[in-house]
Amino acid sequence: MNSNVDNEFVDSWLQTIAIVFTMLVLFAGFYISAYFPEKAVYTNLFLAERQGAIRPEALERFIYLAGICWVTILPITLYWMYRRLFTKRMSTRPGRQFFSTGRLLKDLLPALLFAGWLYLLAQNTQIPLTKIYLAIAAGAALVLLALSRILYDININKFVLGAIAGIIAGFYSYLLVIPHEMIANNGYVSHHYEPVLAAVNQVVHGKTILVDSTSLYGVLHPYMAAAVFKWCPLTVFSLSMFFGMLAWLSFFFIYLAFCERTGYGSIYTLVFFLAAIGFMHPIYLTLLMFDQLKVPLIGAYYQYLPLRVLWGSFFIWYVSCHLRHAGRIPAWVGYMLAGISVLWNPDTGLVIMAAWAGMLVLHAAATQDAVRFKSTAKIVGRNIGAVILTLGAAMIFYSLFAWFRSGNWPDWGRFFSYQNIYYRCGYFMLPMKPLEFWQPILLMYSVSFFYGVKCLLRRDNTDNACWYCYVALFGLGIFSYYQGRSHYQCLVAVAYPAIILAGSMFVDLLKQQLNPGFFAGRREIFLKMAMLAIFIAWGIVYTVGSIPIAARYFQQLNQSLRTSRSSAPVDPDNELAPYLKANSGSIIISDSSTYLLTKYHCYSAFPVASLAMETYLKDQLPLIQNAIDSQSSEYLIIEKRNSMWFGYLSFDAYREIAQTPKFRILQAKRYAK
């Protein structure tokens, strides 16, 4: 098949895939809109005080799915217009190909469209200082393009490069550590950190997730943390350091993913890693949101960052390794690890599982001599069976673990209860703006997926194409988190695959451009490199721009940790000490309940870990009431500002015996003298 026929074949297949993809997504959008009930049904789940936070997801999810269509089809349409209108009429003489005035003028069309799109996003974004940073990024992109040939030839000892990346990752991971005084002085921080701390504290004291406790972000990580805290006390600082180490591991897997794509000694690996740090580390959001604030909220929302990023970054690296040594054993190892990732964090783990199975199907189909329906159906069936088997094995493994630990089987209905609350009901969700900087990230995933499909159809470097398809599918899957919680802070957890794709594609295009000589290469490749360079340079600008505030916060953090490492600032006068006994179950109704339990080394007598979330769910109230009526704790402590619970819960089994400025102390009647 000659090149012209091959191009027409691939173009027709891509157009067919794009049309089918659009129809499927629109159908899914209408189905979802019809399936989900009205807001009135959701309100039956929540207390009146939280019903105002419900934003039904049906319509917004349809807008998101439709957005995937137009963002995906847009670059294909522009590329088709570009080829049909211009490339067939262009001279292909090597000497005049790059510097032709006619070509420069014709290239202005896609360049102006791209620039106009970015300007529109900058005009409508909620992110401060975007125009300034975008302008700086455009200048940095020009420098990156000008030096691209020189940087390509620079190689450094891989151990030296790894040490530099490790130090950078360590510095930014350390900035995620939360000192105790930040918990005391900022309710925003304490509210988001409390569910993580609560689950770990319950497990440390012998509770079992899904049996007599809960966990908002997954069932496996509290046990990993509890194993560490057998050797040191659990405090805000120690758990924060534990997650800081997991953050370092996440960053290092991202670095290894770049190494697999661009080379273990290439300077590009370090450049792209710096861009990834800028995009995914919360410090750039602090720089933008609080602009030289005296007490920056670096770690405010991000202690859970490794829970979402650790396994995702690991699999992006592992897929590259697997494709170099493809076989049944590495494939089943991948399925086993994907099953573990589901237990670690179901939001990310289920996406990893689906993307892994999809990649294996594409790879197996692409390596056949000819694509046949029967053999392809067998491949799809085997991988669907593998997914079901893996998920079943993961559930059986944890069920046996829970039974041996507690003597009871886990309630798997509670495992996905939070997904129902957030992703179906829209609890505390934010509307997604039509014009916002989620679009370049989503565009990167969409373009990469179709780029991978195009290479697979051409049987051109199928391993490379499968890697692009995996990362793109994974990115599209985890993007649903931002779709629901549409605050630009949440882009941190969904942007890192996009920057890995951008760096990898930039180097791949550079290799194509250098093959005939840099200025003798195809101009359309150079234009693609320029667009990717802006995306990469933007992350680098964020990293560089964050250095002054990072250095200042580093000093503040060291000073805070020296003075507040050992004790939490809640209940500073220890007024509750007589009522909270170490290693005993306690009943505390307060937004600071977990911090009090951790300070006095006790655990919650409730069958839920975090009162910051569960006490607003109507179906949890009977469980909480039962714990109160059974008088499982001698003392019941309720914060005065939480007196609303007297309207929902009965405290007849207790009588009030004392008060502090912030709390009321009640004693179980059976303990009364």
CA distances from residue 83 to 15, 18, 77 in whole angstroms, order as listed? 14, 17, 10
Average pLDDT over residues 437-460: 81
Query: Residue 230 burial (CB < 10 Å; 0-12/13-18/19+)?
Result: exposed
Lowest mean pLDDT among 102-106, 351-355, 550-554, 655-659: 102-106
Residue whose entry in the numeric block shows the structure tokens 């620079």: 154
Among 164, 410, 167, smallest CA distance to 269 is for 164
- pLDDT single digits (tens) 75-96: 555 555 555 554 444 444 444 4
Q: In the prediction, which pLDDT does 89 show?
A: 45
Condensed to tens digits (0 to 9), the pLDDT of residues 445-454 reads 888 888 888 7
Three-state DSSP at 659 gives strand
CA separation for the pair 297, 287 (Å, rounded) = 10
Stated pTM of the model: 0.83
Q: How confident is the model at residue 293 (pLDDT cuts 50, 70, 90)?
A: very low
Rounded to an integer, the average pLDDT of 628-640 is 83
Q: How confident is the model at residue 518 (pLDDT cuts 50, 70, 90)?
A: very low
Helix (H) or strand (E) holding 585: strand 585-589
* pLDDT, greater one: 597 or 391: 391
pLDDT, mean of residues 600-628: 75
- Strand pairing of 663-668 and 603-604? unpaired
Identify the band that residue 6 occupies on the pLDDT scale cut at 50, 70 and 90.
very low
In angstroms, the first-to-last Cα distance of the chain is 94
Percent of the chain scoring above 70 in pLDDT: 67
3-class DSSP state for residue 93? coil
**Torsion on CA atoms 226, 231, 232, 234, rounded to nearest 10:** 20
Q: What is the pLDDT of residues 112-142, one digit of tens each?
A: 777 777 777 777 666 666 677 777 888 888 8
- pLDDT tens-digit map of 173-223: 887 777 666 665 566 667 777 888 888 988 998 899 988 888 888 899 999
Number of helices (H), then strands (E), in the chain: 26, 5
Contact call for residues 349 and 311 (beta carbons, < 8 A): yes
Q: In what order do the strands lie in the sheet with 603-604?
A: 603-604, 585-589, 635-639, 663-668, 654-659
Of 517 and 363, which is predicted with more confidence? 363
Q: What's the residue count for the chain?
A: 673
Is residue 456 very low, low, confident or very high in pLDDT (cuts 50, 70, 90)? confident
Per-residue pLDDT tens for 315-338?
Answer: 999 999 888 887 788 889 999 999
608-620 pLDDT, tens digit each: 777 655 556 666 7
Structure confidence at residue 5 (pLDDT) = 41
